[in-house]
A and B are shown apart, each in its own frame.
Chain A
Amino acid sequence: MRDLQPQAGQAQVLDLARVAARELLAPSATDNDRAERFPEEAMRHLARSGLFGINVSKAYGGLEAGVVAYALAVRELASACAGTTVGLMVTNMVAEAIARFGDEAQRQRWLPGLLSGAHAAASFCLSEPGSGSDAASLRATARRDGDHYVLDGTKAWITSGGRAGLYLVMARTSPDGGSRGISAFIVEAGTPGLCATKPEDKLGMRASVTTQIVLDGCRVPSANLLGAEGDGFKVAMGSLDGGRIGVAAQACGIAVAAQRCALDFARGGRADGAALSEQQSTQWLIADNAAELDAGWLLVLRAAALKDKGAPHSREAAMAKVFCTEMASEVASRALQVLGEAGEDSRHSAERNLRDARVTRIYEGTSEVQRIVIARECLKALS
């Protein structure tokens, strides 16, 4: 380890995120959570500042800033509003998938618009009611019909469903072949046969809208096939691989917000005649939060730095995700304990942070999947 300071370009992205977090997200985070309101305008602002394509080439309107910068930005934004941030993260994932797996015509067709606020979000459609962690068993189909594909099936837990302008959909082009029979498509909003169901009523991330996406004879031009037929699983896994670092950074942001609450409250509150901050019971909660937050963030930075270098990082990304997401739940829970009864009050973010943290242990690969990945790597390394 030689240095942990962001370099100039990374610091610029962090500043951008910091301003957006403070001015665009923080003021309405509590209200958006309560009202389950998707912050359409804020999302378009974020797009216009380049934050929908943090890792996409500047030629298409992105920031081209790398994975460390992405982690820095996500942590900052999530500390203000994790719900808005997850919409941004999924959009980044789709933008990167188009940049990485799309041909030049596809990039030109979709990226400049997406990265300049033409859409409020993009969605990633992999999971289905019957397949989450076991993504290769998905059942949605894409049947070739002339110069079109016809998509049928149901996609579940789709972030920004109904609000996104572009949907990256994984569907089966071959009835057998497991993961090799899957292909990836970009489906534009408004395509007949694609519709979002009523939003899910969620525990947390309520500023993000989550729906099913029902594909019913949805005709998509074959020019919308991303990569080759059969590449869909590769596209999905390649996207999730970076996504894990993003979710880990998001969890860190949630934990940062919760710890901030705990610190503010401890500095001001009193119990039994003494300041809360002078009581060891409070100090212990704060100390454990601080140490675990730093440990988690270092795991994120390490995975991000490896990815930036193009080095193998699946073990490190999985470690970052499982540790940080579980840490965020713990940290938020301890913060709530510092606040006591006041923690129930939504004027403090801690209770929202606790609710928001929970799903990070589930989406983009559950904690269980991360542990399987880590164990596999560990056993390989010492066999």
Chain B
Amino acid sequence: MVDFDLTQEQIMVRDLARAFALKDVAPHAHAWDEQSRFPVEAVKKMGELGLMGVAVPSEWGGAGFDTVSYVLAMEEISAACASTAVTMSVNNSLVCDPLLKFGTDAQKAEWLTPLAEGRKLGCFALSEPASGSDAGAAQCFAELSADGTYYTVNGTKNWITNGPDADVCVLIAVTERGKGNRGMTAFISPMPSEGLTVGAHEKKLGIKASSTSQLVYSNVKIPVSLRLGGVGDGFKVAMTTLDGGRIGIAAQALGIARAAYEASVRYSQERMAFGAPISQLQAIQFKLADMATRLDAARLLTLRAAMLKDQKGRHSKESAMAKLFASEAAMWITTQAIQVFGGNGYVKDFPVERHFRDAKICEIYEGTSEIQRLVIAASALKEVGA
């Protein structure tokens, strides 16, 4: 039955996230951005609230809610601070999710539970200096020891969100050269580790309060017990993980876009021009109408992808659509928001300048808009009778 309603539980999670975001995140977002300061306290509280493992079953330390709840919570946190939201998204989608799906019970007990409880923070390492979208071209190599008990990892991973603050990394490395996608394997890589250097903080355009760095592996030993999934399954682990991660980033984009939209609506009712609030001008009304419409369309695509993930259906195409549409909507909506604010939109005294900078990354990480289009087109061309 066609039913767009949220469950009581989903509404509860959303309201909890909203209350927390308004009280403990929004008031600090501007300063954190200004100072490029990682929101340690907020992340800790999110752990206590269950927001670092929203969709992880309670037996593994998570909050035990569904992906729709996760999306709703992400939007709320992101509307307050997109940097805090991406920290949450990476831990939930890119670390907890693959551990839950591919981990052994022992791995889950040791790593998933503290991650989901927010006692540890995770990061995810796939991209490298010379390979982003072309993930199959990764070079970072993990060599199995002669006695078969550990791997030695060498290589550099790039643009690692949470890298400087993480306690563990889900690492994708090559275990058999020349086999491309089928020669990759996933690992649980504890941090810190001997030989593992966390690079300097990247100086970014947006999401400045989130931490991003390189991870340089130099003869880092990882025991075989920390291999995640089978040998050669790394690409599959990565792609499956990103199918979920994209839903999180779509939700992040929604939050940024909503914040910019709501700020614009309020500002338009206060700012006077030609003797009346600018909200009375069609030029402004039409922008607000288009912002609201794209925001709603993006949210529906995102909720659909989340719902399909919860129903254990295939959702690669739907996740890609949600991520593509929501991130481009966020970029467009924040651009319009600055236009509604005029000169005030261009200065840091008003929040839309930050929203605009924060929006851009959503079109790039966890699969660029271009990668999403490849995924969608391939899927559409394959569908029979479409």
Contacts and interface: CB of A to CB of B under 8 A. Distances in A.
Contacts of A284: 373, 377
A247 B140 CA distance: 54
Interface in B1-42: 1-7
25 contacts: A1-B68, A2-B307, A259-B386, A277-B377, A277-B381, A283-B378, A284-B373, A288-B373, A292-B325, A298-B297, A299-B296, A301-B4, A322-B289, A323-B293, A371-B289, A372-B285, A372-B289, A374-B289, A374-B292, A375-B286, A375-B289, A378-B289, A379-B265, A379-B269, A382-B269
Contacts of B279: 375, 379
A284 to B, nearest CB: 5
Nearest to B268: A379
A352 B268 CA distance: 41
A6 interface: yes
A306 B307 CA distance: 19
Contacts of A3: 1-3, 307
Given A7-B1, A291-B325, A375-B288, A1 B300 contact: yes
B386 A302 contact: no
B380 A263 contact: yes
Which 8 pairs, one residue from A and one from B, show the smallest C-beta to C-beta distance?
A283-B377, A375-B285, A287-B373, A298-B300, A374-B289, A371-B289, A287-B376, A295-B297
Contacts of A368: 286
A131 to B, nearest CB: 19
Nearest to A376: B285
A187 B296 CA distance: 41
B105 interface: no
B65 to A, nearest CB: 14
Given A3-B3, A283-B373, A298-B301, A290 B380 contact: yes
A263 B306 CA distance: 27
B262 interface: yes
Given A295-B300, A302-B300, A1 B324 contact: no
A267 B378 CA distance: 11
Contacts of A291: 301, 320-321, 324-325, 376
Given A68-B2, A263-B386, A299 B373 contact: no
Interface of A: 1-7, 10, 68, 259-260, 263, 266-267, 277, 280, 282-284, 286-292, 294-296, 298-299, 301-302, 304-306, 316, 319, 322-323, 368, 370-372, 374-376, 378-379, 381-383
B66 to A, nearest CB: 10
Question: Which has the most chain A C-beta neighbours within 10 Å: B2, B288, B292, B304?
Answer: B2
Given A371-B286, A378-B292, 14 more contacts: A2-B7, A5-B1, A6-B1, A6-B2, A7-B1, A283-B378, A287-B324, A287-B377, A316-B296, A322-B289, A370-B289, A374-B293, A375-B288, A382-B269
Contacts of B292: 319, 374-375, 378
Contacts of B6: 1
B290 interface: yes
Contact of A382 (B3, B262, B285, B306): B262
A290 B3 contact: no
A202 B159 CA distance: 55
A1 B3 contact: yes
Q: Is the interface of B mostly helix, strand, loop or mixed?
A: helix
B278 to A, nearest CB: 11
Contacts of B318: 294
B285 A4 contact: no
A359 B201 CA distance: 54
B303 interface: yes
A243 B379 CA distance: 33
A378 B372 contact: no
A380 to B, nearest CB: 10
A48 B68 CA distance: 43
B325 A295 contact: yes
B266 interface: yes
A48 B104 CA distance: 61
Question: Which has the most chain B C-beta neighbours within 10 Å: A2, A260, A289, A372?
Answer: A2
Interface residues of B, number: 49
Contacts of A286: 376-377, 380-381
A51 to B, nearest CB: 19
A2 B5 contact: yes
Question: Which has the most chain B C-beta neighbours within 10 Å: A304, A316, A319?
Answer: A319
Contacts of A7: 1-2
A302 B321 CA distance: 18
Contacts of B380: 259, 263, 286-287, 289-290
Question: Which has the most chain A C-beta neighbours within 10 Å: B3, B286, B289, B325?
Answer: B289
Nearest to A3: B3
Given A319-B293, A374-B289, A382-B262, A301 B282 contact: no
Given A263-B380, A286-B380, A287-B372, A4 B293 contact: no
Question: Which has the most chain A C-beta neighbours within 10 Å: B1, B5, B377?
Answer: B377
B296 to A, nearest CB: 6
Contacts of A277: 377, 381
B111 to A, nearest CB: 31
Interface in B68-108: 68
A56 to B, nearest CB: 20
B386 A2 contact: no
B301 to A, nearest CB: 5
A302 B289 contact: no
B282 A372 contact: yes
A145 to B, nearest CB: 43
A1 B4 contact: yes
Nearest to B286: A371
B321 A294 contact: yes
B373 A319 contact: no
A287 B328 CA distance: 14
A2 B304 CA distance: 9
Contacts of A375: 279, 285-286, 288-289, 292
Contact of B374 (A2, A287, A296, A376): A287
Contacts of A259: 380, 386
Given A4-B2, A6-B2, A283-B373, A263 B293 contact: no
A360 to B, nearest CB: 16
A319 B304 CA distance: 18
Given A5-B1, A383-B269, A266 B381 contact: yes
B276 to A, nearest CB: 13
B119 to A, nearest CB: 32
Contacts of B172: none
Contacts of A2: 3-5, 7, 307
A299 B300 CA distance: 7
B220 interface: no
Contacts of B288: 374-375, 378-379
Nearest to B71: A1
B308 to A, nearest CB: 9
B286 A290 contact: no
